[in-house]
């Protein structure tokens, strides 16, 4: 019994004090196609966001969303399937993204196990420069997101989504994805909201990565 | 029998046909239509089919879904991936199912109650598809260019004339209130640029890789060949192949050279051009073209330069510039690229200043503060001109850029207005565009003859 306790303690310590390493995020090729539409939106961060290497995560953290089940407020997408959100393929071409209905929609990833999350990386759509509106990203152990919800990003400045006003800035999606650092938040489910974008009213996801650890 | 009952006793399509055939008699018919619309009568709804729902078809659909009074009946595309996306989008937006077809002949055989078709297929299909639809009694909105050949474009006008149906070509700037305002208010009515002497336009699009395709959505080669494509690469990248498209001068340049012709109110007298396939290994069409047109303005020539670049960055974007001896107008679909400049050194400026000041005080122009030149006391550069006084348009387009053009089409079907770009007018404007690629090949100046513009 004592041996087991010591072993558990060692494992826990190792996990707690695992060396942090720079986050690595895949960068597909940039791909802007066709006539670009002006990005007319206020409170816009024109930078590419935080570089991956500036974010430190535990050495054993990885994309725990890969091939995990995805549900959505729009269960029958206009283009593609919900599985594309976590299929590991990051490509702006036709066939690699899911298009959801207009107005506010969400996708939810079930990480299937209790998880500790250190970063979330989102590629909405990058073959056209766009800013998605009212982007809200939340983590919870409740699949209904009614209790114990942690909001890690919110740029809904006028509370359109009725999830509370957010102070974060709008941003333009690029091939680098948008990295949202997360302070070791625990939860099994990740939910991402948006309400159309500056080019059209629909909502899109090429890929979402959740960087974390699981027992 | 009251007017509403009279309306309902006609089939909806009969009613629309009779209304449109009445033509000049619409002063009597119009109030009936207006009352039917106000009552939300389905008799006034137009049944439409979308033919080609790829990249451009989707853009048009985004506008179509915002236009009231349309009933989406059918979607036709050879790629199931596109068809299902269009069907799903309509279902979500409108709440009803739309019939889908791979083949236009099957669609026309099955769908007997269509009023109009919106065509956004690859260029080489524009003419056959438009002619089929016109001959089937449909009004047609077809994307520009009309065809990949001038003969194809001519056949469309012939079908328009023989069928008596409407043919609108997708030079959407012609319905853009900003473009119309510049022509009607600034150039024609107030003559703010003075004597038009030079025109310049460009579309720079950044380099990009060829389009790819998802392996799980590949179309088999037999089907591709049935519809004129050798393989999936050609299907996805048809804009670059000579038998399928007119190339970049047609794809991008057509929008802007059409404005040259529309604003000058004439076709050019000649064109010469240079270009090449210098950057891409998989393209047949020129990836960069520079063309020079001469317009006989009656007593003098105005010259126009147009370039389309796909081998550069997109720096500078796309715009058309009309330069006169008293002012310059830079107009673009992108309002950020639109500016108007007054030249203050002309002999008649004192008088002209009064005109510009009045236009500004009347709200016809909006003055923009001219940026002050940076002063460096150590440098005196006598070569530099003082910055020209700068103005902006006082109006904005608050809709998707294709929506007014589509609205014009449907309003014309209902007899409320005339088309802003009917097939014949578009043909006359496009003839000089079809001449560019041959002019590059011939390496000589091509002079247009009046016969070139005849149907």
User: What is the full DSSP assignment across B286-347?
Assistant: -SEEEEEEEEE-SSSEEEEEEEEEEEE--TT-EEEEEEESSEEEEE-SSGGG-EEEE-S-ST
Q: What is the pLDDT of residues B61-104, one digit of tens each?
A: 999 999 999 999 999 999 999 999 999 999 999 999 999 999 99
What residues of A are in contact with residue B55 (Cβ under 8 Å)?
A: 34
- What percentage of residues in chain B have a pLDDT greater than 70? 86
The encoded tokens of residue B410 equal 């449907």
Q: Are residues B103 and B162 in the same domain?
A: yes
With an 8 Å Cβ cutoff, is A103 touching chain B? no
Q: What is the pLDDT of residues A165-204, one digit of tens each?
A: 999 999 999 999 999 999 999 999 999 999 999 999 999 9
The encoded tokens of residue A32 equal 């802007």
State the pLDDT confidence band at B28, using cuts at 50, 70 and 90.
very low
pLDDT at B148: 97
The encoded tokens of residue B203 equal 């579309």
Q: Are residues B344 and B382 in the same domain?
A: yes
Does the distance separating the beta carbons of A33 and B211 come in below 8 Å? yes
Is residue B441 included in any domain, yes or no?
A: no
Taking the CA atoms of residue B278, residue B203, residue B199 and residue B453 in that order, the dihedral angle to the nearest 10 degrees is 80
Average pLDDT over residues B174-182: 98
Q: Are residues B24 and B158 in the same domain?
A: yes
Q: Are residues B236 and B371 in the same domain?
A: yes
How far apart are the CA of B226 and the nearest CA of chain A, in angstroms? 23
State the pLDDT confidence band at B391, using cuts at 50, 70 and 90.
very high
Count Cα atoms within 13 angstroms, Cβ side, for A186: 4
Own/partner pairs, A161-164, CB within 8 angstroms, 24+ separation: A161/A104, A161/A134, A161/A136, A161/A193, A161/A195, A163/A136, A163/A138, A163/A193
Q: Are residues B168 and B207 in the same domain?
A: no
Is residue B432 included in any domain, yes or no?
A: no
- Picking from B145, B174, B203, the residue at the C-terminal end of a domain is B174
pLDDT at A77: 97
With an 8 Å Cβ cutoff, is B227 touching chain A? no
Is residue B117 included in any domain, yes or no?
A: yes
Q: Are residues B166 and B237 in the same domain?
A: no
With an 8 Å Cβ cutoff, is A42 touching chain B? no
Higher pLDDT, residue B284 or A18: B284
What residues of A are in contact with residue B206 (Cβ under 8 Å)?
A: 32
What residues of A are in contact with residue B211 (Cβ under 8 Å)?
A: 33, 93-94
pLDDT at B347: 60
pLDDT at B268: 98
State the pLDDT confidence band at B41, using cuts at 50, 70 and 90.
very low
Is residue B286 included in any domain, yes or no?
A: yes
Q: Are residues B243 and B360 in the same domain?
A: yes
- What percentage of residues in chain B have a pLDDT greater than 90? 78
Q: Are residues B27 and B154 in the same domain?
A: yes
Flag the least confident range among B11-20, B122-131, B332-341.
Answer: B11-20
Flag the least confident range among A135-149, B20-34, B421-435.
Answer: B20-34
- Picking from B138, B159, B174, the residue at the C-terminal end of a domain is B174
What residues of A are in contact with residue B97 (Cβ under 8 Å)?
A: none
pLDDT at B315: 81
Does the distance separating the beta carbons of A95 and B206 come in below 8 Å? no
Q: Are residues B326 and B371 in the same domain?
A: yes
Among candidate residues B81, B170, B71, the one with its CA nearest the CA of residue B126: B170
Does the distance separating the beta carbons of A77 and B88 come in below 8 Å? yes
pLDDT at B171: 98
Q: Are residues B319 and B207 in the same domain?
A: yes
ipTM of the complex: 0.85
Instruction: Choose from A81, A82, A95 for mutation: most chain B CBs within 10 A.
Output: A95
**Residue B406 CB: number of other CB atoms within 10 A?**
25
Q: Above 60 in pLDDT, residue B45? A: yes
Distance CA B258, CA B427 (A): 10
- Give the chain B residue nearest A79 (alpha carbons): B85
Flag the least confident range among A23-27, A91-95, A181-185, B31-35.
Answer: B31-35
User: Can you tell me whether residue B19 is helix, strand or coil?
Assistant: helix
Average pLDDT over residues B139-159: 98
pLDDT at B26: 32
Residue B136: domain span: 3-174
Q: What are the structural domain ranges in chain A?
A: 20-214
pLDDT at B158: 98
Own/partner pairs, A78-82, CB within 8 angstroms, 24+ separation: A78/A202, A78/B85, A78/B88, A78/B89, A78/B92, A79/B81, A79/B85, A79/B88, A82/A107
CATH fold for the domain made of A20-214: Jelly Rolls (2.60.120)
Q: How far from B124 is each of B241, B243, B316, CA to CA, in Å?
A: 10, 7, 30
Is residue B405 included in any domain, yes or no?
A: no
Number of domains in chain B: 2
The pTM (predicted TM-score) of the whole model is 0.87
Question: Radius of gyration of chain B from Cα atoms?
Answer: 24
Q: Above 60 in pLDDT, residue B19? A: no
Closest CB to A93 among B212, B216, B314: B212
Q: Are residues B202 and B139 in the same domain?
A: no
Is residue B83 included in any domain, yes or no?
A: yes
- Picking from B174, B203, B223, the residue at the C-terminal end of a domain is B174
Q: What is the pLDDT of residues A82-108, one digit of tens each?
A: 999 999 999 999 999 999 999 999 999
pLDDT at B23: 33
pLDDT at B441: 97
Q: What is the CATH number of the domain that holds B253?
A: 3.30.360.10
Distance CA B341, CA B343 (A): 6
In chain B, what are the helix, strand and coil shares in percent, each to the nearest 5?
Answer: 45, 20, 35
- Average pLDDT of the residues of chain B: 89
Q: What is the pLDDT of residues A116-159, one digit of tens each?
A: 999 999 999 999 999 999 999 999 999 999 999 999 999 999 99
Q: Are residues B230 and B349 in the same domain?
A: yes
Q: Above 90 in pLDDT, residue A17? A: no
Contact A68, A110 (CB under 8 A): yes
Chains A & B: contacts with CB separation below 8 Å: 47
Q: What is the CATH number of the domain that holds B110?
A: 3.40.50.720
pLDDT at B33: 34
Is residue B406 included in any domain, yes or no?
A: no
State the pLDDT confidence band at B39, using cuts at 50, 70 and 90.
very low
Is residue B404 included in any domain, yes or no?
A: no
């Amino acid at each position: 019994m004592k041996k087991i306790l010591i072993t558990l303690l060692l494992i826990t310590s190792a996990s707690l004090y695992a060396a942090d390493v720079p986050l690595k995020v895949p960068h597909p090729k940039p791909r802007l196609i066709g006539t670009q539409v002006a990005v007319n939106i206020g409170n816009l961060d024109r930078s590419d966001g935080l570089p991956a290497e500036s974010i430190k995560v535990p050495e054993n953290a990885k994309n725990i969303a890969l091939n995990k089940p995805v549900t959505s407020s729009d269960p029958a997408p206009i283009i593609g399937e919900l599985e594309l959100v976590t299929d590991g393929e990051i490509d702006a071409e036709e066939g690699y993204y899911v298009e959801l209905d207009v107005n506010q929609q969400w996708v939810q990833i079930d990480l299937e196990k209790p998880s500790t999350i250190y970063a979330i990386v989102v590629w909405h759509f990058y073959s056209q420069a766009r800013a998605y509106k009212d982007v809200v990203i939340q983590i919870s152990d409740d699949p209904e997101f009614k209790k114990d919800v942690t909001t890690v990003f919110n740029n809904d400045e006028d509370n359109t989504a009725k999830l509370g006003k957010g102070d974060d800035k709008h941003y333009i999606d690029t091939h680098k994805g948008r990295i949202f650092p997360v302070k070791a938040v625990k939860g099994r489910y990740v939910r991402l909201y948006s309400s159309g974008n500056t080019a059209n009213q629909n909502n899109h996801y090429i890929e979402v990565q959740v960087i974390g650890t699981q027992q | 029998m009251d007017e509403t009952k009279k309306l309902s006793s006609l089939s909806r399509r009969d009613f629309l046909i009779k209304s449109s055939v009445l033509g000049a008699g619409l002063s009597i018919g119009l109030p009936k239509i207006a009352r039917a619309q106000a009552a939300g009568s389905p008799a006034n709804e137009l049944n439409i089919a979308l033919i080609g729902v790829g990249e451009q078809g989707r853009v048009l659909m985004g506008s179509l879904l915002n236009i009231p009074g349309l009933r989406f009946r059918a979607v036709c595309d050879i790629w199931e991936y596109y068809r299902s996306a269009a069907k799903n989008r309509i279902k979500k937006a409108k709440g009803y199912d739309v019939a889908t077809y791979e083949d236009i002949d099957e669609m026309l055989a099955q769908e007997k109650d269509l009023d109009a078709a919106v065509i956004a297929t690859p260029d080489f299909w524009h003419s056959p598809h438009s002619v089929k639809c016109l001959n089937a009694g449909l009004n047609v909105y077809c994307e520009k260019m009309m065809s990949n050949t001038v003969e194809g474009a001519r056949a469309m006008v012939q079908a328009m004339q023989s069928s008596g149906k409407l043919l609108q070509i997708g030079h959407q700037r012609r319905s853009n209130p900003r473009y119309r305002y510049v022509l009607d208010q600034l150039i024609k009515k107030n003559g703010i640029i003075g004597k038009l002497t030079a025109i310049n336009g460009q579309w720079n699009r950044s380099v990009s890789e060829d389009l790819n395709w998802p392996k799980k959505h590949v179309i088999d080669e037999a089907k591709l060949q049935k519809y004129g494509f050798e393989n999936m690469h050609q299907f996805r990248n048809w804009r670059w192949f000579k038998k399928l498209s007119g190339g970049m001068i047609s794809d991008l340049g057509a929008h802007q050279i059409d404005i040259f012709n529309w604003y000058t109110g004439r076709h050019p007298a000649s064109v010469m051009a240079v270009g090449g396939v210098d950057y891409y290994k998989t393209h047949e069409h020129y990836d960069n073209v520079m063309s020079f047109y001469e317009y006989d303005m009656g007593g003098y020539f105005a010259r126009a330069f147009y370039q389309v670049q796909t081998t550069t960055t997109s720096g500078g974007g796309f715009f058309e510039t009309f330069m006169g001896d008293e002012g310059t107008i830079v107009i673009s679909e992108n309002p950020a690229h639109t500016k108007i400049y007054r030249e203050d050194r002309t002999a008649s400026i004192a008088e002209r200043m009064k005109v510009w000041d009045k236009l500004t005080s009347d709200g016809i122009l909006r003055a923009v503060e001219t940026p002050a030149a940076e002063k460096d006391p150590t440098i005196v550069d006598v070569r530099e001109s003082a910055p020209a006084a700068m103005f902006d348009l006082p109006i904005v387009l608050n809709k998707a850029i294709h929506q007014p053009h589509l609205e014009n089409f449907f309003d014309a079907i209902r007899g409320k207005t005339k088309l802003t770009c009917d097939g014949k007018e578009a043909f006359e404007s496009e003839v000089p565009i079809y001449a560019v690629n041959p002019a590059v090949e011939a390496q000589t100046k091509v002079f247009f003859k009046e016969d070139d513009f005849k149907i």
